[in-house]
């Protein structure tokens, strides 16, 4: 195993990051402290060895885990950011996993490209506690950087078989699946990417929180974005569809709240902190209410929270459908009860209009 040769995870990655990986793979030879060892690594196995060895190192050192995570993250992020534009010119996502394994074996930077994203997903608390790692993280998810398309193509591999799929990074939680239909404001793009990466968890999205502490959040949250993204089908939850989303970050995240409950709750906290007056809370409520059908209405309930912040139970003025109609269509008894108690008009059938475009999630 790698640890018998290199001694530790830190030494292994530090050594590998300084070597020409293609030469290392060709000779299948690792050396440390003057000791030379021949490792007969099958190309598709060398990735597994390094990945699994790191996993064991972290499991065996719980007291030093955060320090080890930071060290690895620093190495992987810098290597991932060194990927050059068009470095994946021969890449084809239709190729089998053996071909993709070969790409990662031949270039340590590409391995780090995949690994860095898994680190963002699984080690956010450690990364967010270090300002230099946060700067690297922001650069990593920047969709405007020259090599981002190559990075995006590479990350298709995260969907493939072990050792990566065990991290359960589901498609709707992959920031690189976002298509930016207009050049986004950098801060808004980074913040949304961090929210997307937070996944199902109802816990604090650490990367987004750390970012919020050093940036102008009211400006970011009111930026108008136009993106396309994969999401579970609104009526058939067994399939995914690609939808357009237009609006501010709170309006977009509201529609994802069933799959990103922690992110939406976090955004509502920011709205409360920085002033609800800057946002159309009634519109956010209308966009969110479909997701409420999965809510037990125990505190914190996002529907009740929106109403307390000042959203109208009848939705925004002039909307062609009301929140109550959506709740009824979803058989959301708790939602119907909450809206009626908050003053929703039971006989309101909405206003004339063309409704939402077919390409939109709603």
Identify whether 330 is part of a domain.
Answer: yes
Q: Are 303 and 338 found together in one domain?
A: yes
Domain's final residue, options 279, 305, 329: 279
Domain's final residue, options 279, 302, 336: 279
Q: Are 329 and 251 found together in one domain?
A: no
In this predicted structure, what is the pLDDT of residue 32? 28
Q: Are 259 and 303 found together in one domain?
A: no
Residue 257: C-alpha distances to residues 4, 116, 162, 191, 284 (Å):
46, 26, 29, 16, 11
Q: Are 313 and 223 found together in one domain?
A: no
In this predicted structure, what is the pLDDT of residue 5? 30
In this predicted structure, what is the pLDDT of residue 174? 84
Domain's final residue, options 233, 256, 279: 279
CB atoms within 10 A of CB 278: 14
Q: Are 269 and 302 found together in one domain?
A: no
Q: Are 234 and 176 found together in one domain?
A: yes
Identify whether 358 is part of a domain.
Answer: yes
Question: How many domains is the chain partitioned into structurally?
Answer: 2
Q: Are 245 and 205 found together in one domain?
A: yes
In this predicted structure, what is the pLDDT of residue 237? 59
Q: Are 272 and 294 found together in one domain?
A: no
Q: Are 268 and 178 found together in one domain?
A: yes
Per residue in 290-317, pLDDT (tens digit) is: 988 876 666 678 999 999 999 999 999 8
Q: Are 174 and 267 found together in one domain?
A: yes
CB atoms within 10 A of CB 55: 13
In this predicted structure, what is the pLDDT of residue 27? 30
What is the pTM for the complete model shown?
A: 0.81
Domain that holds residue 274: 170-279
Identify whether 296 is part of a domain.
Answer: yes
Phi, psi of 30 (to 5 degrees): -120, 145
Q: Are 185 and 249 found together in one domain?
A: yes
Identify whether 24 is part of a domain.
Answer: no
Identify whether 27 is part of a domain.
Answer: no
Q: What angle do CA 346, 359, 348 make, to 5 degrees?
A: 10
Identify whether 42 is part of a domain.
Answer: no
Identify whether 251 is part of a domain.
Answer: yes
Q: Are 271 and 306 found together in one domain?
A: no
Identify whether 125 is part of a domain.
Answer: no
Positions in the chain whose pLDDT score sits under 70? 1-52, 55, 57, 59-63, 88-101, 156-169, 200-202, 233-238, 295-299, 352-362
Helix axes 302-309, 261-274, angle to 10 degrees: 10
């Amino acid at each position: 195993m790698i640890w018998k040769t290199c001694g530790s995870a830190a030494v292994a990655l530090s050594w590998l990051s300084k070597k020409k990986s293609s030469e290392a793979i060709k000779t299948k030879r690792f050396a440390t402290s003057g000791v030379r060892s021949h490792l007969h690594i099958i190309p598709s196995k060398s990735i597994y060895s390094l990945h699994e060895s790191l996993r064991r190192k972290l499991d065996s050192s719980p007291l030093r885990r955060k320090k080890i995570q930071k060290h690895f993250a620093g190495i992987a992020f810098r290597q991932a950011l060194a990927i050059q534009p068009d470095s994946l010119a021969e890449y084809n996502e239709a190729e089998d996993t053996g071909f993709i394994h070969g790409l990662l074996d031949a270039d340590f930077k590409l391995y780090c490209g995949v690994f860095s994203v898994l680190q963002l997903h699984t080690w956010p608390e450690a990364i967010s506690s270090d300002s230099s790692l946060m700067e690297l993280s922001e650069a990593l998810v920047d969709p405007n950087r020259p090599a981002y398309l190559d990075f995006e193509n590479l990350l298709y591999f995260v969907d493939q078989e072990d050792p990566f799929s065990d991290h359960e990074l589901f498609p709707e939680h992959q920031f690189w699946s976002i298509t930016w239909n207009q050049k986004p404001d950098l801060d808004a793009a980074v913040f949304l990417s961090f929210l997307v990466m937070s996944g199902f968890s109802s816990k604090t999205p650490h990367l987004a929180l750390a970012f919020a502490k050093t940036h102008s959040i009211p400006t970011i949250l009111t930026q108008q974005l136009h993106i396309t993204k994969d999401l579970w089908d609104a009526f058939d939850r067994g399939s995914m569809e690609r939808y357009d989303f237009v609006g501010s970050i709170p309006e977009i995240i509201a529609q994802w709240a069933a799959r990103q409950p922690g992110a939406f709750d976090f955004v509502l906290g920011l709205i409360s902190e920085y002033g609800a007056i800057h946002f159309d809370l009634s519109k956010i409520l209308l966009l969110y209410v479909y997701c409420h059908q999965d809510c037990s209405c125990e505190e914190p309930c996002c529907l009740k929270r929106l109403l307390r912040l000042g959203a109208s139970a009848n939705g925004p003025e002039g909307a062609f459908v009301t929140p109550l109609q959506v709740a009824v269509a979803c058989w959301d008894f708790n939602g119907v009860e909450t809206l009626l108690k908050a003053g929703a008009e039971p006989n309101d059938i909405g206003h004339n209009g063309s409704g939402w475009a077919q390409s939109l999630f709603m």
